[in-house]
C-alpha cells in the first residue's frame, strides 16, 4: 500500500510529529511510505509549479494520505495552511477525492481539538474518506500507553483501507454568498477619547466586503484610524518552531524582517485592535495565520492584557464555529476582551452598519472601563495547561514564560495554604464516621457553599 505523508512541521525531518509516523512505519513495514516536507519547503512549493505538481502526482498515486502536523496556535502552521490554499487555488482538489486519509497532530494538548477539527473539515471538503485522528502529547511516544495508542490508531487506519470500509462525515460544504455589502455615510461621529485604535487587515481588494466594513468602522470616528495591511509588511516567513524565543523572547527572525518591531510598537501599544479578514477554506487566510504564529516570539506570555478586540469578518462564520472558538480562546489566553464578531452573513447592509457603529462605541467605552469579561473554560482550561507545563517539564526552555507567569500571578496553584490543608484533613477524618458524614452531606455542604456569597450580597 502506498502511503503519502504530508509533513507539516517547519523543522522537516527533525519533527516530533514525524516520529509518530516513523514509529508506525517501523511497526507496519510492509507498506510503502513517501514523506513530503510541506511546511519546510512551502516557499519553493509555492513559487515552483513543477515542485507543487510533483507532490500532487504523489497524492494521485497514493492509496492513502496522512496529514502529520504539529499544532501551532490552535491550528496548523501557516506554511501548511498555505499548501491547503494552493490545492484549491490551482484546482487540483479532485486529486484528493475518495482517498482514504487520517490526521496526526502533536502538541501539549492546548487546543489540539480545534486543529483536528480544521484538518478533518479540510479533508472532507476535498472529498476524502476521513478515517480518524491521532492527537498525542508530544512526549506520548516515550510512554508505553502512547506507543500502544499509536499502534492501535495505525491498525484501524490500515484495516479500514484494506477492507474498504465506509466512513462517517462530520463537516458538510459551507454555503457561500455573493452578497455585496454597502457602507454608509456616518452623520454623528465619535471620538477616540485618546484611545489608540489599530486596524489590521490582509485584504488586497478594496471592493471586497471586509475592506468596506473596515472603511465603515473608520467612518465612525472623528480622528483618523491607523490601518496596517499585513500583506504589505516585510515578513520573511512563518514561525519555525525553533524555540529560540524561550529564554528571553529573542526570535530567529529578530532584525531580519519587520514583524517583531511592528508587533511591539503597534500591536502591544494599542488599546483597541480591530482584525479584518475574509474566510479562506476553514479559517482566515494563511497570511493571517502567519501573523498569529509569529506572535509566538512572545512564547506563551500574554501581550494583549486588557485590550479590546473586534473582528470584522466576511464569510460564513456561523457555519464554521471552530473559527470563533479559536479567537475566543486566544483573546482569553491573552487576557484581553473580545468585543464581538461582525460579519456580512446577515446580507443586510443596514444591520451591519449598525453593528459596526455599536461596536465602535463599545470599544471606547469598554477600553475606558478596562472591561475584560470573566473567562470561561476556553481561557481557564487553556491557561492551566500552559501553567502546569511551564511550571513542570517546560520550565526550560521557556524560562521567559516562567518568570512572566510568576510576575502575573499565573503560578498560583489552588489550596496550597496550610489553613486549607488542615481543614480538608479534619473534614476527611470526620467524614469517615457514617453519622457525621451523613449530616455533613445532607445539611452542611450546600449552606457552606452559599453562605460566603450571601454575605457578599448583604454587605457589599
Q: What is the pLDDT of residue 96?
A: 98
Residues 125, 154: contact at Cβ < 8 Å? Answer: no
What distance in Å separates the CA atoms of residue 276 and residue 170, rounded to the nearest whole number? 28
The CB density around residue 179, as the number of other CB atoms within 10 Å, is: 15
pLDDT of the chain, 460 residues: tens digit per residue: 999 999 999 999 999 999 999 999 999 999 999 999 999 999 999 999 999 999 999 999 999 999 999 999 999 999 999 999 999 999 999 999 999 999 999 999 999 999 999 999 999 999 999 999 999 999 999 999 999 999 999 999 999 999 999 999 999 999 999 999 999 989 899 999 999 999 999 999 999 999 999 999 999 999 999 999 999 999 999 999 999 999 999 999 999 999 999 999 999 999 999 999 999 999 999 999 999 999 999 999 999 999 999 999 999 999 999 999 999 999 999 999 999 999 999 999 999 999 999 999 999 999 999 999 999 999 999 999 999 999 999 999 999 999 999 999 999 887 667 888 898 899 999 999 999 999 999 999 999 999 999 999 999 9
Q: What is the pLDDT of residue 415?
A: 66
Q: Where are the domains of the chain?
A: 2-162, 197-377, 418-459
What distance in Å separates the CA atoms of residue 397 and residue 402, rounded to the nearest whole number? 10
The pTM (predicted TM-score) of the whole model is: 0.95
Cell of 194: 485618546
Phi, then psi, of 339 in degrees rounded to 5: -65, -55
Q: What is the pLDDT of residue 68?
A: 98
Nearest to 85 by CA among 225, 224, 251, 290: 290
Q: What is the pLDDT of residue 274?
A: 98
Q: What is the pLDDT of residue 397?
A: 95
- Tracing cell 483573546 back to the chain, one arrives at 331
Give SS3 for 340.
strand
Give SS3 for 447.
helix
- Cα–Cα distances (Å) from 368 to 192, 260, 316, 357, 374, in that order, read 10, 27, 32, 17, 17
Sheet holding 100-106, edge to edge: 32-37, 2-7, 64-70, 100-106, 129-134
Residues 6+ apart with CB under 8 A from 1: 30, 31, 32, 63, 64, 158, 161, 162
Q: What is the pLDDT of residue 419?
A: 85
Q: What is the pLDDT of residue 421?
A: 85
Q: What is the pLDDT of residue 412?
A: 86
Please tell us whether the domain made up of 197-377 is placed in CATH 3.40.50.10680.
Answer: no
Residues 6+ apart with CB under 8 A from 208: 278, 314
**Cis previous bond, 139, omega within 30:** no
Residues 6+ apart with CB under 8 A from 186: 216, 219, 220, 357
Give SS3 for 72.
strand
Please tell us whether the domain made up of 2-162 is placed in CATH 3.40.50.360.
Answer: yes
Q: What is the pLDDT of residue 329?
A: 98
Taking phi over 0 as left and psi of -120 to 50 as alpha, with beta for the rest, 204 belongs to alpha
- Tracing cell 452623520 back to the chain, one arrives at 187
Amino acid at each position: 500500500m502506498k502511503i503519502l505523508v504530508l509533513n507539516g512541521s517547519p523543522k522537516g525531518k527533525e519533527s516530533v510529529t514525524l516520529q509518530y509516523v516513523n514509529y508506525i512505519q517501523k511497526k507496519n513495514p510492509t507498506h510503502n511510505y513517501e514523506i513530503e516536507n510541506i511546511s519546510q519547503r512551502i516557499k519553493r512549493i509555492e513559487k515552483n509549479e513543477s515542485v507543487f505538481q510533483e507532490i500532487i502526482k504523489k497524492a494521485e498515486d497514493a492509496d492513502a494520505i496522512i496529514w502529520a502536523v504539529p499544532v501551532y496556535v490552535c491550528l496548523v502552521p501557516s506554511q501548511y495552511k498555505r499548501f491547503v490554499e494552493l490545492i484549491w487555488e490551482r484546482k487540483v482538489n479532485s486529486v484528493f477525492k475518495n482517498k482514504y486519509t487520517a490526521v496526526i497532530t502533536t502538541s501539549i494538548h492546548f487546543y489540539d481539538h480545534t486543529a483536528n477539527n480544521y484538518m478533518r473539515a479540510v479533508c472532507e471538503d476535498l472529498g476524502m474518506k476521513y478515517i480518524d485522528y491521532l492527537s498525542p502529547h508530544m512526549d506520548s511516544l516515550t510512554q508505553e500507553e502512547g506507543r500502544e495508542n499509536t499502534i492501535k490508531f495505525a491498525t484501524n487506519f490500515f484495516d479500514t483501507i484494506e477492507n474498504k470500509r465506509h466512513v462517517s462525515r462530520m463537516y458538510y460544504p459551507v454555503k457561500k454568498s455573493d452578497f455585496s455589502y454597502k457602507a454608509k455615510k456616518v452623520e454623528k461621529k465619535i471620538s477616540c477619547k485618546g484611545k489608540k485604535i489599530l486596524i489590521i487587515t490582509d485584504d488586497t481588494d478594496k471592493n471586497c466586503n471586509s475592506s468596506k466594513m473596515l472603511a465603515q468602522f473608520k467612518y465612525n470616528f472623528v480622528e483618523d484610524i491607523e490601518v496596517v495591511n499585513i500583506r504589505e509588511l516585510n515578513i520573511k516567513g512563518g514561525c519555525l518552531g525553533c524555540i529560540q524565543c524561550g529564554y528571553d523572547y529573542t526570535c530567529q527572525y529578530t532584525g531580519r524582517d519587520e514583524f517583531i518591531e511592528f508587533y511591539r510598537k503597534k500591536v502591544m501599544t494599542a488599546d483597541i485592535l480591530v482584525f479584518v479578514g475574509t474566510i479562506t477554506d476553514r479559517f482566515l487566510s494563511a497570511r493571517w495565520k502567519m501573523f498569529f504564529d509569529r506572535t509566538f516570539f512572545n512564547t506563551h506570555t500574554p501581550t494583549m492584557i486588557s485590550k479590546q478586540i473586534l473582528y470584522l469578518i466576511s464569510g460564513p462564520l456561523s457555519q464554521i464555529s471552530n473559527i470563533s472558538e479559536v479567537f475566543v480562546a486566544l483573546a482569553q489566553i491573552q487576557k484581553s476582551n473580545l468585543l464581538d464578531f461582525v460579519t456580512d452573513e446577515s446580507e443586510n447592509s443596514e444591520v451591519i452598519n449598525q453593528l459596526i457603529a455599536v461596536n465602535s462605541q463599545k470599544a471606547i467605552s469598554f477600553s475606558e472601563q478596562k472591561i475584560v469579561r470573566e473567562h470561561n473554560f476556553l481561557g481557564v482550561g487553556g491557561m492551566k495547561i500552559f501553567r502546569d507545563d511551564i511550571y513542570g517539564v517546560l520550565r526550560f526552555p521557556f524560562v521567559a514564560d516562567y518568570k512572566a507567569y510568576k510576575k502575573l500571578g499565573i503560578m498560583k496553584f489552588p489550596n496550597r495554604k496550610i489553613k486549607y490543608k488542615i481543614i480538608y484533613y479534619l473534614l476527611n477524618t470526620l467524614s469517615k464516621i457514617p453519622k457525621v458524614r451523613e449530616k455533613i452531606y445532607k445539611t452542611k455542604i450546600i449552606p457552606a457553599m452559599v453562605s460566603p456569597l450571601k454575605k457578599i450580597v448583604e454587605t457589599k
